[in-house]
């Protein structure tokens, strides 16, 4: 078993010309109690169906006090957004916000601006590590140039279905809020410093979720690579 693991790591130290290009990662920070988030939710749902784009919906909890507790929100999602606030030198977190590849952000309801950032990110040079899953228990992240300060590997599990949530109180009372690619789990796997590294994957907490591993600069930095298990 140990020899097999060492062999796998050795493979990732070699150039992988045939590795798939890492998608552009679009993160939407939204809330079911946010009256201005509907257009952003709908636009990101459309982006989720386009090739080369990985769209993720993170529900935050800081609007819960307005009367509706978001059914998908978790404190760790809010903390992830706050890391971007610090890295991108913003005054405070807000919704709807879209962060593209961890490097640029805009108001999520500005569809044209979101699309512009996605196109720009797709044209940029991408020196991404190969990401290889071994069953449901382990992932190998290959070699690539690591950013100053190092990188981190994150496990994300999300629900690929489009879901409608009936809001009963607050600003969106009586409305059904559609959401797609809703993130349900966010786990920091560990540090990545540009060399082949193996990470153990915790078991999924829910059935029917898709698994994704993101590699990005530490503390809310740019996304270096993203990978999902191959079908």
Collapse the DSSP code of 14 into the 3-class scheme (helix H, G, I; strand E, B; otherwise coil) and give the result.
Answer: coil
CA distance 228 to 74: 23
Position 34 scores a pLDDT of 96
Length of the chain: 231
Residue 72 confidence (pLDDT) above 50? yes
Residue 16 confidence (pLDDT) above 70? no
Position 127 scores a pLDDT of 84
**For all residues of the chain together, what is the average pLDDT?**
91
**Radius of gyration of the chain measured on its C-alpha atoms:** 18
pTM exceeding 0.85: yes
Position 126 scores a pLDDT of 76
CA distance 147 to 145: 7
CB 47 within 8 A of CB 55: yes
CATH H superfamily, domain 2-12+20-227: Glutaredoxin (3.40.30.10)
| Listed residue (182, 188, 209) closest to 59, CA to CA | 182
| Listed residue (28, 43, 24) closest to 121, CA to CA | 24
């Amino acid at each position: 078993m140990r020899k097999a693991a060492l062999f796998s790591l050795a493979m990732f130290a070699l150039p992988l010309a045939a590795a798939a290009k890492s998608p552009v990662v679009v993160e939407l920070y939204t809330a079911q109690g946010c009256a201005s988030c509907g257009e952003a939710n709908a636009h990101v749902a459309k982006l989720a169906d386009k090739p080369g784009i990985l769209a993720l919906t993170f529900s935050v909890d800081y609007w819960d006090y307005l009367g509706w507790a978001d059914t998908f929100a978790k404190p760790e999602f809010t903390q992830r957004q706050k890391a971007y606030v610090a890295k991108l030198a913003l005054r405070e977190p807000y919704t709807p916000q879209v962060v593209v590849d961890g490097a640029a952000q805009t108001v999520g309801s500005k569809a044209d601006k979101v699309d512009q950032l996605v196109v720009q990110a797709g044209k940029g040079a991408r020196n991404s590590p190969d990401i290889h899953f071994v069953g449901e228990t382990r992932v190998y992240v290959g070699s690539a140039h690591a950013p100053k300060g190092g990188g981190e590997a994150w496990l994300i599990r999300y629900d690929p279905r489009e879901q409608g949530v009936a809001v009963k109180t607050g600003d969106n009372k009586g409305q059904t809020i559609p959401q797609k690619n809703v993130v349900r789990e966010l786990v920091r796997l560990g540090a990545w410093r540009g060399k082949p590294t193996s990470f153990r994957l915790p078991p999924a907490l829910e059935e029917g979720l898709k698994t994704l591993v993101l590699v990005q600069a530490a503390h809310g930095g740019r996304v270096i690579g993203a990978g999902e298990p191959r079908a």
